[in-house]
Amino acid sequence: MILTDYTFEELKEQPIFSEEKPFRIKQLLRWVYTKLEFDFGNMTDLSKEFRGKLKENVKIIPLEKINEIHSFDGTTKYAFRLNDGFAIESVLIPMNEGKVTFCISSQVGCAMGCKFCKTATMGLLKNLKVSEIVGQVLLLKKFAKLKEKQKFNIVFMGMGEPLNNLKNVLKAIDILTDEKMMDLSPRRITVSTSGIIDGIKKLGEYPKKVRLAISLNAPDDSLRERIMPVNRGNNLKDLIRVLKDYPLPKRDRITFEYVMLKDFNDKKEHALKLYNLLKGLKYKINLIPFNPFPESKYKKPDEKTVLEFQKVLTDRGVNAIIRKSKGEDISAACGMLASKNKKE
């Protein structure tokens, strides 16, 4: 069995733990999720007999690091191989004031087909298991050398569409936010989606209120359909309607991500249409100048165009931030993740 596939309540029901008292399981989980110790032999407050049984029957993390690349800005991209041979990528992003964000994948590849995203060129190869999601977080936390109580943020913005693997993503979030496990606040977790309406509704019903981000990228259906096939079954009118009903905590806002493509969606008139589209919502906008990759026909707009677009929004009171992509030089920025070999 793989430990990180299970919640605390589920672990208590597993045969290997049936004769152990709950506090023993809590000790084990503290070693894994707090101390980041993945060798049972080093868990010294567990009996030798218990450690031996664990070593023989339990695996903690079903992925291994096969590569890491460092950017000049401090960002690090990791490639992990899964037990079945597939590879995924995750990113460790340093933020201001010593904070850190983990960009996590939810699938191998992606089925959404967004024209500005390198991951889309892979197609969908598989959904990640719970342990393959949780395992990324554990390894990135260990690689970041964070202190036991040091907080961090998680964004589901890596490879894949999280809402197309929602069952496993939510269970992973349950594990990561459980006080007996990772004990991370749900407010430190952001789930980013291309706008799958049914999935957004289900996420809104989830009792742990994580943050929501929408990859929007166009102010009308005709433009959006040209770069995001998902729009054909999830049009903007229906998307905005469900977002107006989304149960946001009082202080929270929906984040809209807007990838700016040169001479496509980057004009002042696009900014004005975007403002009118989002009226009535509590939101902020991240403007993301496109990160080019060889397979794409799109280009990055110049700085003047981006600033003029931003001004249209800020002049109308919108919190619109130009997001400087980190890790672009190592293909770790937004929309650039894709394992070179689908399976080795």
User: Hey, which residues are catalytic here?
Assistant: 89, 334
SS3 85: coil
Q: Count the helix, strand and coil residues of the chain and give each as a percent rounded to the nearest 5.
A: 40, 20, 40
**71 to 74, 215, 259, 272, 336: CA distances (angstroms):** 5, 25, 21, 35, 14
CA atoms within 13 A on the CB side of 295: 16
CA distance 171 to 19: 25
Q: For the chain, state the CA radius of gyration.
A: 21
Both tokens of 172, joined, read 């992973």
Q: Kindly report the number of other CB atoms within 10 A of residue 229's CB atom.
A: 17
- CA-to-CA distance for 264 and 119, rounded, in angstroms? 21
Check if the beta carbon of residue 335 is closer than 8 Å to that of residue 120. no
